[in-house]
Chain A
Amino acid sequence: MDRQRVQEREAQCIQEQPPACNTGCPLHVDVRGMMAHLRLGEFSAAFGLFARSVPFPAIIGRICDHPCERGCKRSEAGMAITISALERAAVAYGYGAIGLPKRQKVTKKKRVAIIGAGLSGLTVAYDLALKGRDVVVFEAGERPLARLRAMAPAILPEAAIDADLAALHALGVDIRCRTPVGEAAGSMPDIAALLTEFDALYLGPGPVPFAVAFPGLDCAPDGRIAIVSATGATSHPRIFAGGGQRYGAVFSPISSVQDGRFAALSIDRVLQGASLTASRDNQGAYPTLLYTDTSAYSPLPAVIPTDPAAGLSRDEAIREASRCFPCQCLECVKRCEYLAHYGAYPKRYVREIYNNDSIVLGTHKSNRMVNSCSLCGVCTAVCPQHLDMAAVCLEARRSMVDKGKMPPSLHDFALRDMAFSTGPAFALARHQPGRDASAAVFFPGCQLSASSPDHVIRGYAYLRETIADGVGLILGCCGAPAQWAGRSDLYEQTHADLAAGWERLGRPMIITACANCQRMLQDRLPEAPVVSIWTVFEQYGLPAPRPALAASTFALHDPCTTHDAPDIQKSVRHLLTELGVPVVELNEPGLSPCCGFGGLMSFANPDIADKVVDRRIGENDADYLTYCAMCRDNFARRGKRSVHLLDLIFGTRDVDPAGRPDPGFSGRQENRARLKTRLLKEVWGEPVDATGLDVRLFLSPEVAALAERRLILRDEIRAVIASAEKTGEKIVDTATGHLFASRRLASVTYWVEYTADRGGFTVYSLYSHRMQLGMEPSP
């Protein structure tokens, strides 16, 4: 995996982007964090967060012009959180609970002079004092913060100003009042003198034009100092300025503090000889990338203080803070059991998967996680930045395979099942009987054949009747399991074999009955014209006679493999209208979750797969209707009544098609083998010898379910018993009379507990392991 690509993908996930209240604040107060404390009544902790970003919390908590509230997403569901009122509450109930900030120790003494003890100047003083600089403030007036003291005490009490000034004094800031600058007389310092005594200067003289002409310090046409807004720099390299001098008569307390903060950073950089402009991208207010869907929240009005003069009471503050959602994206996690299962979100997962891929020696802790994604693509569709987690997982799987790090047990069963479908028991490629050319070829896929072999027989008959000039048949597998398992080699080989069969039939149009087959064919065999059977029905008309249908409404589940095939979804809806089948949509088109089979998730992580199915089948009480055999069978396996669209088109032999059970893994292979035998016999008139082991098995429903869960096929049970009965290599449990026998098939040792009776064998239990017995380690 490419490191840069990983970083790009991490950046696509916006969950860690700060919320709008934070990015709208010039000081980036962690408002969301404060709300989390306040809703729990943790006023001191909330105050601590506030004071971490704000230099004069008692003052700013009262008079901030709160640009944060403009970005608050709560305004989409009620009113914006009254953040300023809550800051005041945090100060009122939390002030003093945290210790005063302390100066950093620095080895090199640097001195900074500040002219003007307004909000911007004192912010510079505060920030630089914290960094261990020696700061002297020169103020022409009687007291610092004179403009604030002119405010009504109801808005800003003197006590608030005194408290914050006390903290500033405690930092060692030397404030000299009645000391105007620029009158080169007596003890009054002038700028030139200050520049020799101090390493840098900050000019915060307030809104009036700065009356001091100084060589190298340019002024704007209005007479105020020319200031670079992002840095507070002036035309003189050691003089900085901001605050009212930049804003004029418009007093924005938080903007003045911001100017002080920018200038303090600039001065500190000058003192260290660092770049003034580097890494200041997200300084000040900026729009956030964080997306928050507020549609699920019901509107709530703001909590108004009972006593407006006193502000919010503790209880009122707790209630008001509880209106914060808080803002976060998680659009994908909300929709995906897999993403939710691991407790984080894609940004973290991308990093985790990359780290897992990079481990040379040690445990690959995320192997199962990488292989538990269904690759359905819903996350990408709902992501504001379209981060493609399926691609992340699939690339990681391929890399694991390439490095020989893919755990063999994860996909072994699925790949052997695929090998069955591409092997002689099922695979076939033929022209229609009596013809030596094919205008089209039917490719029903392995899972429809495994689930409903009758539909394949009917479908093939329909196509032969409908399409002139011959319809051939290809039985096999589209290679999806290999692709999902990261086995590019096997995937390519499967398609090479399919392509060879297709070439031999004269490159006919391919008719699919499974959207995933269609997708895989279009991917690997782009030169082949491929069309779904649904489109063929739409073009040539539905077969007659049609089965009688109960007038019940179905809930329609689009297979996740049709996300990029809206034409298939459209054809299906046309057919349903024609059939007169009423359906309700489960979701917007293109947002269907996986049924739990996709990406081989059910093999790597059956628990998550079951959660995925269970969530889906819980969405609607109606019987489900789908057009993917695997989806239908997975729903049935978890107890949801479900039909396949072909059940409605061709009818079935079942009295209750929606109640048809999942055939299970053994049943799937048996159905495929029998389908091939039937087709050869019924369509091509070729009697076929039924091969296979003639061992009758009796499995209780519990044992059959255990076999499914443990991925042990009836054919494997037969093979174990047949060999034990032939060689006598079995173990007798003298307490129960049960026999235990084992046999190694491929890379698995299967054990069966059984007795011989009723002309066959009763199976009591079965299990397997991959470890080999009595083997010395391979070199």
Chain B
Amino acid sequence: MTTATPAITDTVHETPVRLRGYRAADMPLLTGSWLPGELLGLPDPGRPPFADLASVPPPAADRPGDELYVLPGGAFVRFTEVDWVHRRARLETGFTTEAAAAHAPGLLTAALDRARGTLGLRRVHGWVTPGRPGTEEVLRAAGLAREAEVPHALWLDGRPVGRQIWGMCSDD
């Protein structure tokens, strides 16, 4: 993260987002400059040029627990570590461009609706690396809350940095 990172609330689009299932042609959406495993995987303009891009695997027969959706041309939504017994999953997203990142609030809302409605999940959680201005506002607006702060959870910019766990539980 750099100080030049824009606040996502500066460019937010309020239009509703419609997710659809992943198709093979969406493969380019699965690789980008976001931090790995991030709940709100916004593009990181401060990423070192030699650093590997983050990526998530496409659906495969040997990973039946993953659910992958896309915002066509702009972002992906992945539910992983899905546990149908405990009705929970870890959510991660990735936006390919800053323009796509403007849809972050709508995409989060659509993702959480998908988790509760289509997938029948009770709990969704994910990793958040502090530093991007406006991130907390977007997460709270979607109904997520900060639940834990794990020190030294990610190697970033030459040092270990803390990461937060954000999540939500649906009462049912």
Query: Do A and B come together as binding partners?
Result: no
